[in-house]
């Protein structure tokens, strides 16, 4: 080819990111395939869920799922959107209600086993988003880090969320929406701003700490210093957070709320160390904060290490969410208020601590001894929590099977009325599942 011809030749078209080759000539899909062992904790977790899940409602399933669908089916068209945003106790649970409604519309009825699996699939999305952040921060040993994060996130002490449709749908849903919005805001490509905004909006209306998540997203965009993403997150937060409180009423029962630091602080430390068991919760919580202080990826010049900002954002979200839980639950006897449904936050806190440790020691000679030591500690904790969690799954299954209505004893009549109405409307018949 002549020089003139070469000069006129068109440049080769850019190859899409998904089709690029990794080192060694393999595609990104191949990389995920050969590292599929990082999903071992997911398989073990879903095996447990499948073993114990029942097509029977538990507690708030009666109100949040069946009563909502009863009301939605009989409501005038003009009232239906309001039902999606209506309070459930002190929260709005938009994303959960949308999924309940979508499932009922497609299937024509409600199956609680399927809802349980959908709720837990949100945890898989949380895990995948975490992996994508890990791959950027620790590209060389991302798979080992991801495996240990998986053992933290898919811990069996999550049985409350794992085997209770409404509980898992809400508690996992708000974290998933936060993680997705964080992921979309982290991309330089401006086409991801719209899905980031949508996830941020839905997140605000999907739980009480959805507003915390939305504010942390604002902080994230401020630190990445991208004008369009800052404007998008700030405007979204300032518009939709105040709207959350339109027609908002305080929950009638405020007996669990406390402003007593002598109750709040121990509860908070129990949550911070909750991944390592209730018995040593306070000690583990103190140690967790010491470790986090030592491994924070911030230099002496206050520069955040490259690609570590998402983990710091998740960390802030978890710590503030734990603080809110501590204020609103610490006025109850500690062991009674220390519910499995809250343990997803200490589990994620432990996962973030592991990631930050790996970022901190990357490049040091003692990297492998520390990695092995910390991994063995986390695997031991997983084994202990497995036994504890399996007992929780068994209790749920036994109570659900052996109580006519798994609902507060003084309100069994309410549960019966809701279930009978659902059967009349063709939504769900509890009598067919006993």
**159, 200, 178: which is closest to 342 by C-alpha?**
159
Identify whether the C-beta of residue 348 lies closer than 8 Å to the C-beta of residue 314.
Answer: yes
| pLDDT value of position 26 | 62
Query: Which tokens in the block code for residue 267?
Result: 């509860």
Confidence of residue 304 (pLDDT cuts 50, 70, 90): confident
Could you give phi then psi for residue 328, rounded to 5 degrees? -90, -5
Identify whether the C-beta of residue 152 lies closer than 8 Å to the C-beta of residue 378.
Answer: yes
Instruction: Point out which residues pair with 92 in neighbouring strands.
Output: 87
More confident residue, 258 or 127: 127
pLDDT tens digits, 17-30: 333 444 444 677 88
**10 Å Cβ neighbour count for 43?**
11
Q: Within 13 Å of residue 417, how many CA atoms lie on the same side as its CB?
A: 6
| pLDDT value of position 148 | 97
Q: What is the CA radius of gyration of the chain?
A: 23
| pLDDT value of position 5 | 46
pLDDT tens digits, 184-219: 999 988 899 999 999 999 999 998 899 999 999 999
DSSP state of 304: B
Checking DSSP bridges between strand 91-92 and strand 87-88, what pairing results, if any?
antiparallel
Hunting for tokens 């470790």 — which residue is that?
Answer: 291
pLDDT tens digits, 92-112: 999 999 999 999 999 999 999
**10 Å Cβ neighbour count for 89?**
13
pTM attached to this predicted model: 0.90
Query: Which tokens in the block code for residue 361?
Result: 């020691």
> Is pLDDT of 335 > 70?
no
DSSP state of 351: H
């Amino acid at each position: 080819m002549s020089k003139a011809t070469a000069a006129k030749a068109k440049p080769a078209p850019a190859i899409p990111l998904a089709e690029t080759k990794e080192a060694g000539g393999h595609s990104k899909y191949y990389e995920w395939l050969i590292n599929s062992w990082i999903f071992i904790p997911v398989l073990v977790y879903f095996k447990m869920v499948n073993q114990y899940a029942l097509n029977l409602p538990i507690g708030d399933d009666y109100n949040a799922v069946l009563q909502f669908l009863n009301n939605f089916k009989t409501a005038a068209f003009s009232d239906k959107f309001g039902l999606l945003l209506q309070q459930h106790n002190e929260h709005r649970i938009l994303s959960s209600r949308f999924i309940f409604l979508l499932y009922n519309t497609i299937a024509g009825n409600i199956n609680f086993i399927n809802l349980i699996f959908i709720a837990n699939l949100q945890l898989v999305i949380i895990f995948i988003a975490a992996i994508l952040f890990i791959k950027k921060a620790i590209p060389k040993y991302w798979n080992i880090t991801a495996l240990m994060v998986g053992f933290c996130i898919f811990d069996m002490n999550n049985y409350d969320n794992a085997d209770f449709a409404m509980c898992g749908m809400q508690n996992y849903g708000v974290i998933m929406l936060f993680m997705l919005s964080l992921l979309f805001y982290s991309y330089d490509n401006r086409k991801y701003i719209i899905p980031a905004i949508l996830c941020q909006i839905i997140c605000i209306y999907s739980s009480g700490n959805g507003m915390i998540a939305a504010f942390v997203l604002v902080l994230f965009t401020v630190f990445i210093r991208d004008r369009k993403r800052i404007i998008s997150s700030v405007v979204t937060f300032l518009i939709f957070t105040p709207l959350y409180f339109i027609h908002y009423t305080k929950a009638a029962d405020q007996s669990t709320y406390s402003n007593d630091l002598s109750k709040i602080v121990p509860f908070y430390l129990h949550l911070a160390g909750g991944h390592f068991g209730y018995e040593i919760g306070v000690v583990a919580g103190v140690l967790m904060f010491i470790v986090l202080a030592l491994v924070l990826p911030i230099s002496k010049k206050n520069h955040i290490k490259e690609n570590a900002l998402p983990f710091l954002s998740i960390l802030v979200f978890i710590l503030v969410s734990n603080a809110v839980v501590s204020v609103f639950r610490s006025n109850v006897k500690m062991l009674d208020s220390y519910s499995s449904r809250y343990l997803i936050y200490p589990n994620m806190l432990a996962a973030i601590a592991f990631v930050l440790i790996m970022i901190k020691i990357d490049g040091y000679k003692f990297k492998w001894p520390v990695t092995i030591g910390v991994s063995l500690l986390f695997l031991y904790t997983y084994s202990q929590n497995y036994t504890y969690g399996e007992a929780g799954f068994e209790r749920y299954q036994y109570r659900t099977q052996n109580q006519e209505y798994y609902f507060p004893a003084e309100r069994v009549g309410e549960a019966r009325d809701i279930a009978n109405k659902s059967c009349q409307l063709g939504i769900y018949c509890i009598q067919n599942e006993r």
